[in-house]
Amino acid sequence: MSDSQPLRAELPPNFDLDSVEWVNLTGSPAFDYPIDYGFAVLSADRATGRLDLLSRWAPNAYCHYHRHVCKTAALVIDGEQHVIETRGLETVHKIRQPGFSGPTPDNETHMERAGPTGCTMLFAMQSDDGRMFEILSKDGKVLATATLDDFLENRIGRSKAA
């Protein structure tokens, strides 16, 4: 991974969000917060370790508690993104509006949820070892690790029986 140029999350010119085929994920009784979000791979490149991932949340819904384990940049396309970060002994709540673009800290545990009208975002991620993010339990235990190969081989968002 090259650190000489900053990682940027950018939609291609004239990109049509209405043409996206979303993979939707919802929660279960194992989680005590409402999980309802979808994702779509915009582009992925194994050679560079790059993944551009679109994500959207239903109004006031969360994605799983997690941490990014690679270089990540975000772009808020529509709605509000609420990020609740855990930093040692403090919790920080950020609200990002459409147009926000910037890096996100590596290895910081956080919750993400949409505002009252939902949220659509683009995440640009780049990894040296293929690991993108870890899904965590409330006590910080790693429940699953999402890798670039998981996205390239359509292993996320599908039942094991499929």
This prediction's pTM: 0.87
Residue 81's closest CA among 104, 97, 66? 97
Which residues are CB-contacts of 120 (< 8 A; sequence separation ≥ 6)?
17, 54, 55, 56, 76, 77, 78, 79
Residue 151's closest CA among 59, 66, 55, 76? 55
CA distance 91 to 89: 7
What tokens appear for 46 in the block? 């194994």
- Which of 25-34, 81-90, 153-162 shows the lowest mean pLDDT across its residues? 153-162
pLDDT, tens digit (0-9, with 9 covering 90-100), for 79-93: 999 998 877 788 889
Q: Could you give the domains of the chain?
A: 21-152 (2.60.120.10)
